[in-house]
Amino acid sequence: MTLTWVAVLLLTQVTGAEEPADGAWPSASSAEAVLPAPATAAGEGGGWNSLLRLEASTLALLPRGGGEPVGYAQLSPMLVVDGGGAWGLHMGAPVRLRLWGGEAGAGRVRKEDWDSLSDWGQVVRALKLGSEASAVALWVGALEDYSLLSGHLVRRYSNRANPDYHPAGGYLTSTVGPLFVEVFTSDMLGARLVGAQAEVDLAHVLAGPLREPGRYTLGLSAVREWGRAGGQSPQVTLAHVDGTAVVMVRPGFELHVLAGWGAVVGMGADALTPTLDMKLRLEVRRQRGGFRQGYFGPDYELDRLIAVSRSGTPVTQAPFPEGLSAYGEAVVGWDGVRLGEVLQRHLHLSVGAEVFDWGRVDVDGRLAVQLAERSLEVAVSGLARGLGQPGARHLYSAEVRWRFGRRLYALAQGGTRLYPGADGTLSPVAFASLGMGVDDAR
């Protein structure tokens, strides 16, 4: 796959792979949308390309449960270098300068953004070495909607869900004969989540290399939480065994069934056409002994501090009832002209939902649409955890980006976040941002 890195990082912030087992590099969720015309032309020609960008905006943080509002001027310089299909680099981080409000004696620069070694990882937005055809490949940067292969331990995980913690995660993939291995960490500069999954192509082992690899696989995954960065939290280690069988293959369509030692069975379907990329999954799961599938999920960085429950304790200590659940997930990309390798798409939808037989519902998702010849992008996202139970968690946000010149664009953002407090609580804060950006692609 030839990744047009200038296009990737203008359109989007690159994120974790949905199914790396298929060899795919991270899909993208647009956080920096609206592609300038020069980058499109540059990306098609191959060779080296580069992008310089600067965004200037205001940011207001408005505590919802009491507290003083704070306003910042936010500057976000960015540099993107595209070295072709084998490597690419995207650097840059926002610097927030206090304009008004805040604690007495607070410095000009928001200290929570840079008060730990892990926070310096945010300077690297994306580093890629190797491609899907490489025997060994590396990805470093922000993890968003990241799943570790089967996703039964790590699914739709974001390592920056805590707004005061900005690590650079990473993962390494390697293929040797019938064995595919992926190793990941949520924080390259701190002792946090570390995990791996190994999958064996059983048909390859029994009959040698096949024309269609990966039809029948057996995988083992394990994840360790060290809990020593981004706030202290209890340690935990989990493991899971998975088996997958592809039962139907048609041009542009694949149907597979799966099962896991962690008490899960399900099926999935993938469809790919020139204008549609769709992945669907449906599972029935059983929880027992405090374990649940997708333990390291979308809001785990908050759960590890205070779980969604009435106990007010970290997720490792919070009780989780035994029972059954149904889980569904859909990731859909559509374009009226033709799908690209990045999310230059008229519509992108990613949603996951789990319903438990004892009354709890978890939902998270994101929808982005591109309009007006791709000069306008509107995106909304939401997370609702523990619906139907005490202590339910709700987070929502929206973003609009509009390119009105060859190098100029406007942006607006707003929504809600949960900020960790010194007293160990999570404080709801509304945020709003408005600004402009300028870029130059070569």
Q: pLDDT for 257-305, tens place per residue?
A: 999 886 899 999 999 999 999 999 999 999 988 889 999 999 999 999 9
What percent of the chain shows pLDDT beyond 70? Answer: 88
Those residues whose C-beta lies under 8 Å from the C-beta of residue 144, and which sit 6 or more positions away, are: 13, 15, 16, 29, 158, 160
pLDDT value at residue 48? 80
Q: Residue 304: which of 227, 379, 211, 190 has the closest Cα?
A: 227
Tell me the pTM. Answer: 0.88
Higher pLDDT, 316 or 342: 316
pLDDT value at residue 22? 33
pLDDT value at residue 421? 87
φ, ψ dihedrals at 429, nearest 5°: -135, 130
Encode the chain in three state secondary structure. CCCCHHHHHHHCEECCCCCHHHCCCCCEECCCCCCCHHHHHHHHHCCCEEEEEEEEEEEEEEECCCCCCEEEEEEEEEEEEECCCCEEEEECCCEEEEEEECCCCCCCECHHHCCCHHHHHHHEEEEEECCCCCCEEEEEECCCCECCCCCCCECCECCCCCCCCCCCEEEEEEEECCEEEEEEECCCCCCCEEEEEEEEEHHHHHHCCCCCCCCEEEEEEEEEECCCCCCCCCCEEEEEEEEEEEEEEECCEEEEEEEECCCEEEEEEEEECCCEEEEEEEEEEEEECCECCCCECCCHHHHCCCCCCCCCCCCCCCCCCCEEEEEEEEEEEECCCCCCCCCCCCEEEEEEEEEECCCCEEEEEEEEEEECCCCEEEEEEEEEEEECCCCCEEEEEEEEEEECCCCEEEEEEEEEEEEECCCCCEEEEEEEEEEEEEEEEC
pLDDT value at residue 66? 75
With bands split at pLDDT 50, 70 and 90, how would you rate the model's confidence at 343?
Answer: low
Arithmetic mean of pLDDT, 294-323: 92
In contact, 304 and 159? CB cutoff 8 Å: no
- Does residue 14 have a pLDDT over 80? no
- Does residue 7 have a pLDDT over 70? no
pLDDT value at residue 6? 34
pLDDT of 33-70, one tens digit each? 344 433 343 344 456 888 999 999 999 999 987 788 99
Tokens of 61: 């943080």
Find the angle CA(237)-CA(364)-CA(353) to the nearest 5 degrees: 80
- Does residue 13 have a pLDDT over 90? no
Task: Report the chain's mean pLDDT, rounded to a whole number.
Answer: 87
pLDDT value at residue 342? 59
pLDDT of 87-143, one tens digit each? 899 999 999 999 999 877 788 999 999 999 999 999 999 999 988 778 899 999 999
In contact, 354 and 15? CB cutoff 8 Å: no
- Does residue 162 have a pLDDT over 80? yes
Higher pLDDT, 26 or 332: 332
